[in-house]
């Protein structure tokens, strides 16, 4: 062998050697549109980049962790192994926006190890879908790392352009902020001063909460969020306005230096990046649910998706109250006979809701203010021991009501306002859910208003993530489904625990009743549909007919037309959908109420027909079992004309369509009740051009003939 050949062989070996420990790897989505490249740079620091249709969406973004008492996971890594696999399955939603979900991705697993003596290990798993990227860290079992106290996760998402961004501040305690629309470089969460009355709020830095959605000059849409948030802190995204970067910033606690405590082995939630080239595809994306584990509860048919009415809006309007008016006498809270007489949850009042629901194809009645504790709640720091989830007020007969509801074919939805006093709720959970089971109640609305007790914890930190998840897991044992208000964000856990049915986690309808900043502006839900709704079902409580409610609150109103309120039953997805207004307001308006009576709540299929973030959206959904379709369109403060092609309907089928449209002169402020109802016949060949008023909407029921 001559020297030249030897040299060549040596070079080839070197090449092969460096190949076997290759420090950069690429992977693409099944349709090849999304590409991700992972690199360890020459300091052994992990980075990734993301491309969509060959355009760089995320530039070099690094990955790592800081620990309280250990050296950070930052650099000096080498790649021990990388492996790829394909995955494709179709799974069924027990209830949902669609019956079947395709879960199709390519996976890349990177096994990293520190070069230093401790040889600590960290794995990173990327899943590349046609609609985006999910990745998470795995801390595998290892000899030199048993437990970690994470002070920060350092996951970067460095954007390549100054996107138009739809964001809410990175509040550690509440998601009930209005959305701001600014350039990424102009986000200023710290100067965002909520003008409205929030029960709790903590904005620590210039960060945003997720989902945060961005629209690029060339129409690329990107939304950041997380999936499968379990035993970990919620992630906000800190904004670097100069470099157009986002970086994970976990929600902490005043009680510990660390933000997350974990024993190995464990993995983090998925960090998600949804990428599409139009707005409707963001809503159609199933990335978040797909990244969650399959159903662990099995058959949950004891929960049925339903519309519901309830003792609720009347209290937000001030017509009635949650509390009964008990008084303290001789150190005991009791009915001293001086009750103010405004209590809403009386046996008599609830029976009226049951009768109304029963007559109108509405499955449930929510009863807030049924249990003792409300007198002692508001304004009190010491909230532990106040609420009692077993004891009804003297004028509410739980046995009588549940028997009456059963007779009328209606379910009572339980209410547990925990007042964020977690120890009190935890202690009573078993008994409270067992009481529900005894009375055949299968859904609870829970609430976490106010600062968390124990003091120092925040709604979105690891402690509370566990509170919310554990409550839902425990509730499932009693066949109880949960709709939490003041919740932790939705991260697709409904796939794993399908008793997690809905939640608030946004500025809901209630703000229109009492907020001091004019309520939710007409554009609100045209933003929500492309941001908060990507996370999961929303208990927004639509259907306010008495838009101005001057009789109750002169300075407040709903800032949409009546047609817009109807459209929300289709646009905003939830398996529990409230008909939120007072019974008398529905009884006075039977014609538009017919839509609420008819509209479905559980869907075979969803088609997002058009939309632009913050401007408008049209969604059509096919009802399970009946095959009927319902369509909803909403617009922001601008009037616009939309074209609807009904080619999504079944072929060879005739339908009767009832259109609930904004009237000629409709306007969210000057003429919100102007509504025109029209019946026409349509097929899948039909096309319609329709005008939405300022703050307006359109609802159509499309019933098979």
Beta bridge partners of 59: 158
DSSP 212-247: EEEE-TTS-EEEEEEE---SS--EEEEEETTTTEEE
Give the nearest distance from C-beta 541 to ligand NOJ in angstroms: 7
CA gap 406, 412 in Å, rounded: 9
CA gap 247, 240 in Å, rounded: 8
CA gap 125, 46 in Å, rounded: 13
Q: Of Ca ion, ligand NOJ, none, which one does residue 323 interact with (CB within 5 to 8 Å by kind)?
A: none
Q: Which of 598, 602, 619, 601 is nearest to 610 (CA)?
A: 619
Q: Of Ca ion, ligand NOJ, none, which one does residue 368 interact with (CB within 5 to 8 Å by kind)?
A: ligand NOJ
The strand ranges marked E within 392-435 are 411-417
Give the nearest distance from C-beta 67 to ligand NOJ in angstroms: 37
* Cis, peptide link before residue 265, omega less than 30° from 0: yes
Binding mask 490-509 for ligand NOJ (x = CB under 6 A): --------------x---x-
Binding mask 483-502 for Ca ion (x = CB under 5 A): --x-----------------
485 binds ligand NOJ (CB under 6 A): yes
Nearer CB in complex with ligand NOJ: 96/519: 519
Q: Of Ca ion, ligand NOJ, none, which one does residue 457 interact with (CB within 5 to 8 Å by kind)?
A: none
Number of chain positions touching Ca ion (CB under 5 A): 1
Q: Of Ca ion, ligand NOJ, none, which one does residue 447 interact with (CB within 5 to 8 Å by kind)?
A: ligand NOJ
Tokens of 647: 């080619």
530 in the Ramachandran plot: left (φ > 0), alpha (ψ -120 to 50) or beta? alpha
Give the nearest distance from C-beta 155 to ligand NOJ in angstroms: 31
Binding mask 559-598 for ligand NOJ (x = CB under 6 A): ----------------------------------------
In angstroms and rounded to an integer, the radius of gyration of the C-alpha atoms of the chain is 27
Nearer CB in complex with ligand NOJ: 447/522: 447
Q: Is 316 helix (H, G, I), strand (E, B) or coil?
A: helix
Give the nearest distance from C-beta 312 to ligand NOJ in angstroms: 6
User: What number of other Cβ atoms are within 10 A of residue 335's Cβ?
Assistant: 15
User: What number of other Cβ atoms are within 10 A of residue 412's Cβ?
Assistant: 27
Give the nearest distance from C-beta 211 to ligand NOJ in angstroms: 20
CA gap 434, 389 in Å, rounded: 11
Q: Pick out residues in 501-560 that bind ligand NOJ (CB under 6 A).
A: 504, 508, 510
β-pairing, 212-215 with 245-250? unpaired
Using an 8 Å Cβ cutoff, are 682 and 625 in contact? no
Q: What is the DSSP letter of 624?
A: T
Using an 8 Å Cβ cutoff, are 386 and 328 in contact? no
Nearer CB in complex with ligand NOJ: 504/602: 504
Please confirm, yes or no, whether 510 is among the known catalytic residues: yes
Nearer CB in complex with ligand NOJ: 211/508: 508
Number of chain positions touching ligand NOJ (CB under 6 A): 9
Give the nearest distance from C-beta 504 to ligand NOJ in angstroms: 5
Q: Of Ca ion, ligand NOJ, none, which one does residue 417 interact with (CB within 5 to 8 Å by kind)?
A: ligand NOJ
| 97, 131, 156, 417: which one binds ligand NOJ (CB under 6 A) | 417
| 449, 658, 677, 703: which one binds ligand NOJ (CB under 6 A) | 449
Q: What is the DSSP letter of 693?
A: P
Window of 63-71, 425-433, 479-487, 560-568 that interacts with Ca ion by CB under 5 A: 479-487
Give the nearest distance from C-beta 446 to Ca ion in angstroms: 11
Nearer CB in complex with Ca ion: 505/575: 505
Tokens of 486: 């003041």
Q: Of ligand NOJ, Ca ion, none, which one does residue 97 interact with (CB within 5 to 8 Å by kind)?
A: none
Binding mask 372-391 for ligand NOJ (x = CB under 6 A): --------------------
Q: What is the DSSP letter of 145?
A: B
Nearer CB in complex with ligand NOJ: 345/410: 345
Using an 8 Å Cβ cutoff, are 175 and 489 in contact? yes
Q: Of Ca ion, ligand NOJ, none, which one does residue 156 interact with (CB within 5 to 8 Å by kind)?
A: none
- Residue indicated by tokens 């939405």: 692
Q: Which of 156, 226, 368, 510 is catalytic?
A: 510
Nearer CB in complex with ligand NOJ: 308/312: 312
Window of 275-283, 310-318, 481-489, 490-498 that interacts with Ca ion by CB under 5 A: 481-489
The strand ranges marked E within 63-187 are 65-67, 77-92, 100-114, 121-129, 132-139, 147-153, 156-159, 164-167, 169-171, 180-183
Q: Pick out residues in 330-369 that bind ligand NOJ (CB under 6 A).
A: 368
Nearer CB in complex with ligand NOJ: 96/310: 310
Nearer CB in complex with ligand NOJ: 505/695: 505
Beta bridge partners of 301: none
Which residues have a Cβ under 8 Å from the Cβ of 508 and sit 6 or more positions away?
A: 176, 485, 539, 540, 541
Q: Is 485 helix (H, G, I), strand (E, B) or coil?
A: coil
CA gap 396, 412 in Å, rounded: 13
Window of 247-255, 370-378, 477-485, 531-539 that interacts with Ca ion by CB under 5 A: 477-485
Nearer CB in complex with Ca ion: 485/621: 485
Using an 8 Å Cβ cutoff, are 633 and 526 in contact? no
Give the nearest distance from C-beta 553 to ligand NOJ in angstroms: 16
Using an 8 Å Cβ cutoff, are 187 and 202 in contact? no
Which residues are known to be catalytic?
A: 510
Which residues of the chain form contacts with Ca ion (CB under 5 A)? 485
Which residues of the chain form contacts with ligand NOJ (CB under 6 A)? 312, 368, 417, 447, 449, 485, 504, 508, 510
């Amino acid at each position: 062998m001559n020297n030249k050949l030897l040299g060549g062989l040596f070079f080839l070996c070197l090449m092969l050697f460096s190949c076997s420990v290759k420090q950069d790897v690429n992977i693409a989505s099944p349709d090849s549109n999304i590409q991700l490249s992972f690199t360890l740079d020459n300091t052994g620091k992990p980075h990734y980049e993301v491309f969509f249709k060959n355009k760089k969406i995320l530039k070099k973004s690094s990955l790592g962790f800081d620990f309280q008492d250990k050296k950070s996971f930052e650099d000096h890594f080498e790649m021990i192994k990388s492996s790829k696999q394909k995955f494709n399955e179709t799974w069924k939603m027990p209830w949902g926006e669609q019956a079947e979900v395709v879960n199709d991705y390519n996976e890349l697993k990177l096994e990293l190890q520190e070069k230093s003596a401790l040889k600590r290990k960290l794995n990173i798993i990327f899943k590349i879908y046609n609609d985006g990227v999910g990745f998470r860290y795995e801390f595998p079992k290892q000899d030199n790392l048993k437990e970690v106290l994470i002070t920060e996760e350092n996951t970067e998402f460095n954007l390549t352009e100054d996107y138009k961004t739809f964001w809410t501040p990175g509040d550690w305690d509440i998601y009930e902020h209005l959305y701001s629309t600014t350039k990424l470089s102009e986000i200023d969460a710290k100067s965002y001063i909520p003008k409205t009355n929030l029960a709790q709020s903590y904005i620590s830095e210039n960060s945003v909460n997720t989902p945060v959605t961005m629209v690029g000059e060339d129409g690329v849409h990107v939304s950041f969020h997380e999936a499968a948030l379990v035993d970990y802190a919620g992630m906000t995204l800190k904004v670097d306005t100069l470099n157009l970067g986002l970086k994970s910033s976990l929600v902490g606690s005043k009680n510990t230096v660390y933000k997350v405590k974990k024993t190995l082995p464990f993995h983090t939630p998925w960090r998600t990046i949804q990428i599409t080239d139009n707005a409707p595809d963001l809503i159609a994306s199933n990335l978040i649910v797909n990244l969650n584990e399959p159903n662990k509860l099995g058959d949950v048919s004891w929960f049925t998706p339903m519309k519901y009415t309830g003792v609720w809006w009347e209290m937000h309007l001030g017509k009635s109250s949650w509390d009964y008016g008990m008084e303290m006498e001789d150190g005991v809270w009791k009915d001293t006979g001086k009750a103010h007489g405004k209590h809403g949850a009386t046996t008599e009042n609830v029976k009226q809701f049951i009768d109304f629901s029963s007559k109108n194809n509405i499955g449930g009645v929510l009863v807030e203010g049924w249990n003792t504790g409300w007198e002692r709640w508001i304004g009190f720091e010491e909230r532990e021991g106040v609420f009692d989830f077993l004891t009804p007020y003297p004028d509410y007969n739980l046995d009588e009501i549940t028997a009456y509801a059963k007779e009328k074919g209606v379910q009572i939805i339980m209410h547990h306002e925990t007042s964020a006093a977690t120890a009190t709720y935890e202690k009573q959970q078993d008994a409270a859910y067992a009481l529900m089971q005894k009375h055949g109640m299968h859904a609870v609305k829970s609430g976490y208003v106010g600062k968390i007790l124990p003091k120092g914890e925040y709604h979105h930190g690891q402690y509370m993530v566990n509170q919310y998840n554990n409550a839902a897991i425990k509730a499932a044992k009693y066949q109880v489904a949960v709709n939490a208000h003041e919740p932790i964000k939705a991260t697709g856990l409904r796939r794993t625990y399908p008793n997690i049915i809905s939640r608030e986690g946004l500025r809901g309808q209630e703000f229109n009743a009492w907020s001091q900043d004019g309520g939710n502006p007409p554009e609100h839900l045209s933003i929500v549909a492309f941001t908060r709704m990507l996370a999961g079902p929303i208990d927004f409580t639509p259907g306010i007919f008495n838009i101005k409610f001057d009789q109750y609150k002169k300075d407040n109103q709903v800032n949409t037309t009546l047609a817009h309120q109807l459209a929300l039953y289709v646009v905003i997805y939830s398996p529990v959908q409230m008909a939120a207004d007072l019974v008398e307001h529905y009884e006075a308006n039977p014609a538009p109420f017919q839509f609420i009576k008819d509209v479905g709540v559980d869907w075979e299929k969803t088609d997002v027909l058009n939309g632009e973030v913050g401007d408008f959206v049209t969604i059509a959904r096919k009802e399970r079992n009946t095959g009927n379709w319902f369509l909803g369109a909403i617009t922001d403060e601008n009037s616009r004309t939309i074209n609807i092609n009904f080619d999504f309907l079944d072929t060879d089928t005739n339908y009767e369509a009832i259109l609930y449209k904004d009237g000629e002169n409709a306007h969210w402020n000057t003429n919100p009740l102007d509504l025109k109802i029209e019946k026409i016949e349509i097929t899948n060949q039909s096309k319609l051009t329709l005008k939405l008023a300022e703050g307006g909407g359109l609802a159509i029921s499309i019933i098979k003939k």
